[in-house]
Structure 1
Amino acid sequence: MMTNLFSIFDPSTTIFNFSINWISTFIGLSIIPCSYWFFQSRFNLIWNNIIFLLHSEFKTLLGPQSPNGSTFIFISLFSLILFNNFLGLFPYIFTSTSHLTLTLSLALPMWLTFMIFGWLNHTQHMFAHLVPQGTPAALMPFMVCIETVSNMIRPGTLAVRLTANMIAGHLLLTLLGNTGNSLSIMFISLLIFGQIMLLMLEFAVAIIQSYVFAILSTLYSSEVI
């Protein structure tokens, strides 16, 4: 029995109260069949096409001056978030991307690395980003403050956006599912139909949020390259 509504997002288990549920983050690797790595299949071809599509899009955002292989980190980031978002839609599987512990651990080190690299290697370029082109001289101090604050909150917005979207859908599905015991058969049929529609929406949200996280990370890195 749940002690509160948010206990479904509790990473602890009844086995010595350990946070074993975090193991679900690596379940995506274990369910991939071995034949995927050795033989060509439809799933292999589909995933390769997705990777090539993401590579071309990320390469366009990073620009032609970006180093070779710079898109691999963002494709890997997209894949990791996508797998965990999908796994969280299955019953009794812990959704690791619904916790700031994981999302902030992905966003903060990456943003900090971009900032350190940019300020050490492209200092003038980073200073130029603090004052947009065409800003009046009287507004320059305010624009520097605004741009600095907006730059500092980037990892937080990346992490909170992904966490909030994953929590919202799961909470809505849980709230609707808990009302089924007190409904008549006709309303239960409507509830099941609504749950199926919400589940399809959550599949779309899982794809969109992983793409948004990866594309925003690419945009942030393009400013320092």
Structure 2
Amino acid sequence: MTAPRKVLVVDDEPQIRRLLKSALARAAYAVVEADTARAALAAVDIDRPDVILLDLGLPDRDGLELIPLIRAKSAAPLIVISARTATDEKVSALDLGASDYLTKPFDTDELLARVRSALRHTAAGDARAGPLVVGDVQIDLMARLVHRGGAEVHLTAREYAVLAELAAFPGRIVTHAQLLTAAWGGAYRDNVEYLRVVVRNLRLKLEADPATPRLIVNDLGIGYRLMTL
């Protein structure tokens, strides 16, 4: 029998931990709990979780400081669950290495969907192991080829660079700064309008209805996701 996937829940509020543990257990995940940053780091070392759910408001260290420390120990997807709703907080968390960001209060069904999505793509390398197929779109990062409905789609160098960066993290938010750096270089990290133009062109070439995108979706003020469902 395959061992259940292990989820580390890091939150100092007992009621939140109980809620998360109950929802995750019903979905057949094994749950490990930590109520401090110190306990979280120990659990990462000892329990080797497959997914980490992290609150930012911990008593002994700010969660934003904890993200790179966890990243140094584990490549497991890290989903922030926080009451902080400011865009700059979300961008900081993602730039530091978080895989996703969910604000409190949250819907447990959405949380479980985010966990499932994270587990399907536990590392960027998974996307590079073979072509990524989303609907009638196929993205082959090794061959640098994109097809839609079996026909090759011709992309500019920057269109391909943006799409490849999204495809390396399917289902996850990729920040504006990360996409701009991948396609234009670090000096263009703040030129979001350049990115909007490229994304608009990608949607015209890849989406069934570019006006209602389902493949490349916007996380307002933060970045974009390449949807895999």
TM over 0.5: no
Higher relative contact order structure (alpha carbons within 8 Å, sequence separation ≥ 6): 1
Q: TM-score, normalised by structure 1?
A: 0.28
Q: Which has the larger radius of gyration?
A: 1
Please state which structure has a larger fraction of its residues in strand: 2
Please state which structure has a larger fraction of its residues in helix: 1
